[in-house]
Chains A and B, each alone.
Chain A
Amino acid sequence: MTTALVPARHYLNDGYGIKSWLLTRDHKRIALLYLAGVTFFFFIGGAFAVLIRLELATPVGDLVSDETYNKLFTMHGVMMVFFFLIPAIPSVLGNFLVPIMIGAKDLAFPKLNLASWYIYMLGAAFTTYAIVTGGLDTGWTFYTPFSTVASTSAVIPAALGIFITGFSSILTGLNFIVTIHRMRAPGMTWFRLPLFIWSHYATSLIMVLGTPVLAITILLVAAERVFHFGFFDPAVGGDPVLFQHLFWFYSHPAVYIMILPAMGVISELIAAFCRKPVYGYPFVAFASLAIAVLGFLVWAHHMFVAGISVYAAMIFSILSFLVAIPSAVKVFNWTATMYKGSVSWQTPMLYAIGFIGLFTIGGLTGLFLAAVGLDIHVTDTYFIVAHFHYIMVGGTIMAYLGGLHYWWPKISGRLYNEWLAKVSALVIFVGFNLTFFPQFILGYLGMPRRYHAYPPEFQVLNVLSSAGASILGVGYLLPMMYLTWSLRYGRLASANPWGAVGLEWNTTSPPPTANFAEPPEVTWEAYDYGSPAVVEHV
Chain B
Amino acid sequence: MSDIHAHPALAHHFDSLEEQKEAATLGMWVFLVTEVLFFGGIFATYAIYRSWYPEAFAAASHELDVTLGTINTAVLITSSLTMALAVHAAQLGRRTKVMVFLVLTMALGGVFLGIKGVEYYHKFTEHLIPGPGFQFEKEHLRHAQIFFSLYFMMTGLHALHMIIGFGIMLVMLWWAWRGTITKEYYSPIEISGLYWHFVDIVWIFLFPLLYLIGRHAH
**Chain A residues close to B by CB (< 8 Å):** 104-106, 108-110, 170, 174-175, 177-178, 181-183, 208-213, 215-217, 219-220, 223-224, 227-231, 235-239, 242, 246, 249, 514
Contact = CB atoms under 8 A, between A and B. Distances in A.
B41 A217 contact: yes
7 contacts: A108-B27, A182-B26, A212-B35, A216-B38, A219-B157, A229-B149, A246-B45
B124 interface: no
A229 B130 contact: yes
Q: Which of B48, B53, B142 neighbours the largest number of chain A CB atoms within 10 Å of its CB?
A: B142
By secondary structure, the A interface counts as helix
Interface of B: 11-13, 19, 22-23, 26-27, 30-31, 33-35, 37-42, 44-45, 48-49, 52-53, 130-132, 142-143, 145-146, 149-150, 152-153, 157
B34 A211 contact: yes
Given A182-B26, A183-B23, A220-B45, A229 B152 contact: yes
A235 B142 contact: yes
Contact of B130 (A109, A230, A239): A230
A105 B13 contact: yes
Contacts of B45: 220, 231, 242, 246
A231 B37 contact: no
A170 B146 contact: no
Contacts of A182: 19, 22-23, 26
Contact of B143 (A110, A223, A227, A236): A236
B130 A174 contact: no
A212 B130 contact: no
Contact of B34 (A104, A170, A230): A170
B217 to A, nearest CB: 22
A193 to B, nearest CB: 17
B34 A209 contact: yes
Contact of A108 (B23, B38, B40, B153): B23
Contacts of A246: 41, 44-45
A177 B41 CA distance: 23
Nearest to B56: A237
Nearest to B156: A223
Nearest to B35: A212
B52 A237 contact: yes
Top 6 A-B pairs, shortest CB-CB distance: A212-B38, A216-B41, A228-B131, A229-B149, A105-B13, A106-B13
A178 B142 contact: no
Contacts of A227: 130-131
A246 B38 CA distance: 11
A212 B34 contact: yes
A213 B42 CA distance: 9
B38 A237 contact: no
Given A109-B27, A212-B41, A220-B42, A174 B146 contact: no
A178 B23 CA distance: 6
Nearest to B132: A228
A514 B15 CA distance: 13
A232 to B, nearest CB: 9
Nearest to A513: B12
A248 to B, nearest CB: 12
Contacts of A213: 37-38, 40-41
